[in-house]
Amino acid sequence: MFKEWRIKTVFGIFFILFLLVIWKLVQWQIINYDKYRVLAEQQRTINMEMSSPRGSIYSADGSTLAYNQPAWGVYVNVKDIRDGKDSRSKYEIIRLISPVLEISEDILDERINMSLNYVPLKHKVSEDTVSALKEIGISSLRYEQEEKRVYPEGRMASHIIGFVGKDDIGRESGRYGIEGYFDGDLSGKKGFVTAEKDTFGRLIVTGELESIVARKGRDITLTIDRGLQRIVEKGIRKGVEDFEARSGTVIVMDPKTGAILAMANYPNYDPNEYWNIKDSSILNNLAVSHVYEFGSVSKIFTAAAVVEEDSSNLKAKVEAHTGCIEILDKTVCNWNRQNHGEESLVEVLQKSCNVGTYYFARKIGSQKLYDYLLSFGIGKASDITLQEDATSFLKDWRKWSELDLATASFGQAISATPIQIISGISAIANGGERMQPHIVSTITDDDRIIEFEPQIASTPVSKDTADSVTDMMVEVMKDGGFQWYVQDITNYHLAGKTGSGQVPYQDRPGYDPTKVNTTFVAYDARPERKFIMLVGLQEPQVGGYASDTAVPVWVSIFKELSVYMGITPIE
């Protein structure tokens, strides 16, 4: 009996509390919806401003690429005006502050809603503006410390860095690139200030706010060399303009460590004014996100695979073949349908012979070729720590037809991102070991430094095989159908390969015969192996194949890069 009474009482109390909560919710959300929505927004805004200082981003030489500049939020305490605590009227105040804040009187009139208590007028204003306002002496104005993200180099490295923008609920957060990927590290631990405010959203701000900061964001130093970055940005821009390409990409990497020394795309944007761009696709770093058919560069992976499986393939010749071959019910041809006669592997690479590559690939078969491609990093994300890093799709070898084996061997119907392609070829440059591509060298906390050590991502082939393939790529530089463009850099001992990939239609199956994506990847073949560089042009309207587009752009960038990096001719 007693027990039942107690249960009923407890239940009754809970029921009353429940009704109270419901009533409060109705009051908040329905009756006073507009009022509380505005207040909630103010609260959020203030929370955002109280976040701990965001970490900076530096290039390898310590130059600042992104930092936070102190700024101020200007607020008006409307209640003071309403209660007559401010000697001036709303309209007198508006007239005085409009020119200083550079906001029209109409907009200020609208913003200063007299039924509210506390209204933000403008965010991220400079110290000078605040001084000018203080000089006028308006007692109802309030100032809150804020921070403004500044990118002192403007467009330079914009695709690597990203920017700080607003997310869906108006909170500031890192978007794209390093700002996006490392948002948690950069933004640090936020100071939460809700407790400092009363239920009307009033927050009288003084200097104490700094003490709320929990932990400053971490600083990030990139592997990017600022001088080299400038060179490649200028070069890829000129390349895109000269060949009227839709876009262009360039990556320079140290093949011995996997460190990215420079990475750029054109067109680019200014992260200080990211909101001014018209087409949001421009924000994507194509070097890590553009999955495309990279054409004959893939023949290097095939050559490495067949030599690794059987080094006698270095001396083997494939039987004389015509410029085309029937596979299943399809005819596969060389790019110029030429008949080369009997040829060796190096000749197949020099002539970029599709039929010959397929002949060699047949010796190892689909499963082996697939395994090698995966080991070279094709068909999976590069794991570079940039937000847009994309994976690519490599069809399971068990589903390959004979035609799939052929096209994969010479680089059709297989796709990858520029970072995956350069990473794969860098394994050849680095004696068979593919180093994990990385763009961050250190992350610095208040009390520690996290350093990124070079790591082996995979070892697709042995050193012997890699060195043999390098030798073949050196021969390609000498006689690969683009000698005219490289004639004045022949004594630099470079190894390279071109690729011209088909472009699928956007809206139907098949390839658009008017479009091509061109790639040239080449590296320092001296023992120092100082660099590897990829240049890609998306849909150039002038020039055609890679040998006439990506190669000359690569060469013109190399001429500056070699001086900058101190790479001298051999003879």
**Contact residues for Zn ion, defined by CB under 5 A:** 340, 353, 356
- Give the 3-state secondary structure of 507-520: CCCCEEEEEEEEEE
Q: Is 510 exposed, middle or buried (0-12, 13-18, 19+ CB in 10 A)?
A: exposed
Backbone angles phi, psi at 514, to 5 degrees: -90, -5
Helices (runs of H) and strands (runs of E) counted in the chain: 19, 22
| Rounded CA separation 138/424 (Å) | 64
**CA pair distance 326, 372, nearest whole angstrom:** 25
Helix (H, G, I), strand (E, B) or coil at 96: helix
345 versus 561: smaller Cβ distance to Zn ion: 345
Least distance to Zn ion, CB of residue 358, Å: 10
Hey, what amino acid is at 114? M
CB closer to Zn ion out of 109 and 342:
342
> In the complex, what is the shortest distance from the CB of residue 401 to Zn ion, in angstroms, rounded to a whole number?
22
Closer to Zn ion by Cβ: residue 340 or 438 = 340
* Alpha-carbon gap, residue 442 to 6, rounded angstroms: 63
Nearer to Zn ion, 160 or 353 (CB): 353
In degrees, rounded to 5, the angle at the alpha carbon of residue 381 between the alpha carbons of residues 376 and 384 is: 100
Least Cβ distance, residue 410 to Zn ion (angstroms) = 11
In the complex with Zn ion, which residue's Cβ is closer, 221 or 500?
A: 500
Residue whose CB is less far from Zn ion, 209 or 325:
325
In the block, residue with structure tokens 């299943």: 328
Helix/strand/coil for 214? coil
Nearest-approach distance from CB 183 to Zn ion, in angstroms:
51
- CB of 348 vs Zn ion, minimal distance in Å: 6
3-state secondary structure 320-339: CCCCEEEECCEEEECCCCCC
In the bound state with Zn ion, the residue whose beta carbon lies nearer, of 213 and 324, is: 324
Which of 332, 359, 324 lies closest to 343 in space, CA to CA?
359
Pairwise CA distance, residues 323 & 333, whole Å:
6
Which residue number places its CB atom closest to Zn ion? 353
What's the min distance (Å) between Cβ of 355 and Zn ion? 5
Q: How far is the CB of 407 from Zn ion (least distance, A)?
A: 16
